[in-house]
Structure formats: structure tokens, C-alpha cells
């Protein structure tokens, strides 16, 4: 396999895409450290605290195979917030039915449906938002894992630190030009496409 960069024809600055991505991501923990907080007006204050995070170099971020994930927290919050009135409307429904109103005895089925309709509607919305949250969580897990196709293409890319581009040294089963330098974001778009995710 010829690993020479198609642009500068050198191999010394060429590194595989997963290695560049891994090498540019640094997990760090600051215990009891001083964290600078900027107020935006040039003043900086320091607060004590523990901080855990991952720093990624710009190149590592550009070579990240995971598409941007969309959180589902808002759906969960909506489901939980609606659960409270749904519970009370159900409770009120049972209290009304338990009161044995004479007008309910005339058409008990229609009356019962009417009494429980608000609770039913709220519960349906809870189920809807709960379901949306579940599907978002599932989709994000899938995006994080990637597909065998996207992983394979990602792992067969090589990055030239001198030219700042990615190339494929040899033919893959994906429709990506071989021996041609492309920007990291173009390569990432190919990877996402291979995984079946629409390009953002």
C-alpha cells in the first residue's frame, strides 16, 4: 500500500485517521483546580472546583466519525411535566365517577368517557413524548456506534499533517475518490454517508 500523500508525495507526515483522532482527543480531570471564568468584558475570575472533560484538537474534531447528536431531554421533560396533570385528571375522573351523579346514570358510558377524556388525552401525550425520547436515545446510541461501513471507511483514511488533508491510499467499496487529497470535513461527509446518515 502506497501511503505517500498525493499532494506532497511524502510519507513522513502521514498518519491514519483513527490515530489522528485519538491523538487529538485528551481526557482530563482537574481536581480542586482553579477554573477561569470570563465575564466577557475582559475580567476573569477563578473558581475552585472539579472539572472533567475531553479536549479535542480542531483536526480531531473534524475527523470525528460520530455525526452531531441531538439530545432528547426536552421530550423527557415534557413527558414528566405532563405526567403530573395526567395523574390529577385521572384522580378527578375517579372522584367524579365515585360521586354517583344522577345525570351520569342516564348515559353511564358517555359520561365515563367524558370524565376521563382529559386524563386520556394527557396520558396519550405522555406516551407520545416518552416514545419520542426513547427513539432519540436509541438513534443516538446507533449514531455513536456507527455502522460497519462507516467505521471501515473511516479507518481506511489517512491524514497528511503537512497538507492538512485526508486521502484513501487504495480502493474501498465506497464511492470515494482514491489517491486524492480532500479536506477532513469532506472525508467526514463521505463517512457519514457510508453510515447512512444524511450530511448536515
Window of 66-74, 94-102, 129-137, 161-169 that interacts with Zn ion by CB under 5 A:
161-169
DSSP 182: B
Binding of Zn ion at residue 5 (CB under 5 A)? yes
Nearer to Zn ion, 13 or 135 (CB): 13
Count of residues that bind Zn ion according to CB under 5 A: 6
Binding of Zn ion at residue 163 (CB under 5 A)? yes
DSSP 80: H
- Residue 170, CA distances (Å) to 44, 50, 58, 149 in order: 51, 46, 26, 16
User: Which of residues 28, 70, 142, 162 is near Zn ion by CB under 5 A?
Assistant: 162
Measured from the CB of residue 7, what is the shortest distance to Zn ion in angstroms?
A: 5
Binding of Zn ion at residue 161 (CB under 5 A)? no
H/E element holding 25?
strand 25-38
Binding of Zn ion at residue 7 (CB under 5 A)? yes
Binding of Zn ion at residue 3 (CB under 5 A)? no
17 and 3 Cβ atoms separated by less than 8 Å: no
Nearer to Zn ion, 8 or 125 (CB): 8
Binding of Zn ion at residue 160 (CB under 5 A)? yes
69 and 136 Cβ atoms separated by less than 8 Å: no
Write 120-126 long-range contacts (CB < 8 A, 24+). 122/82, 122/85, 122/86, 122/89, 123/86, 123/90, 125/78, 125/79, 125/82, 125/86, 126/79, 126/82, 126/83, 126/86
Window of 1-9, 24-32, 40-48, 116-124 that interacts with Zn ion by CB under 5 A:
1-9
Residue closest to Zn ion when measured from CB atoms: 5
Measured from the CB of residue 159, what is the shortest distance to Zn ion in angstroms?
A: 9
197 and 143 Cβ atoms separated by less than 8 Å: yes
User: Which of residues 8, 56, 92, 125 is near Zn ion by CB under 5 A?
Assistant: 8
Where does this chain bind Zn ion (CB under 5 A)?
A: 5, 7-8, 160, 162-163
Amino acid at each position: 500500500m502506497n501511503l505517500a500523500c498525493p499532494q506532497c508525495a511524502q510519507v513522513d507526515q502521514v498518519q491514519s485517521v483513527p490515530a489522528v483522532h485519538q491523538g487529538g482527543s485528551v481526557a482530563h480531570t482537574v481536581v480542586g483546580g482553579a477554573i477561569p471564568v470570563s465575564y466577557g468584558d475582559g475580567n476573569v475570575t477563578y473558581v475552585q472546583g472539579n472539572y472533567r472533560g475531553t479536549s479535542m484538537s480542531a483536526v480531531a474534531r473534524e475527523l470525528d466519525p460520530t455525526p452531531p447528536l441531538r439530545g432528547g431531554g426536552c421530550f423527557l421533560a415534557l413527558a414528566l411535566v405532563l405526567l403530573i396533570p395526567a395523574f390529577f385528571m385521572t384522580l378527578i375522573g375517579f372522584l367524579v365517577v365515585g360521586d354517583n351523579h344522577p345525570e351520569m346514570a342516564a348515559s353511564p358510558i358517555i359520561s365515563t368517557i367524558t370524565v376521563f377524556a382529559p386524563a386520556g388525552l394527557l396520558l396519550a401525550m405522555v406516551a407520545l413524548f416518552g416514545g419520542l425520547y426513547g427513539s432519540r436515545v436509541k438513534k443516538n446510541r446507533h449514531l455513536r456506534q456507527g455502522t460497519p461501513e462507516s467505521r471501515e471507511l473511516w479507518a481506511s483514511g489517512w491524514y497528511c499533517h503537512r497538507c492538512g488533508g485526508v486521502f484513501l491510499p487504495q480502493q474501498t467499496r465506497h464511492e470515494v475518490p482514491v489517491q486524492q487529497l480532500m479536506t477532513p470535513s469532506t472525508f467526514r461527509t463521505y463517512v457519514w454517508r457510508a453510515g447512512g446518515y444524511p450530511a448536515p
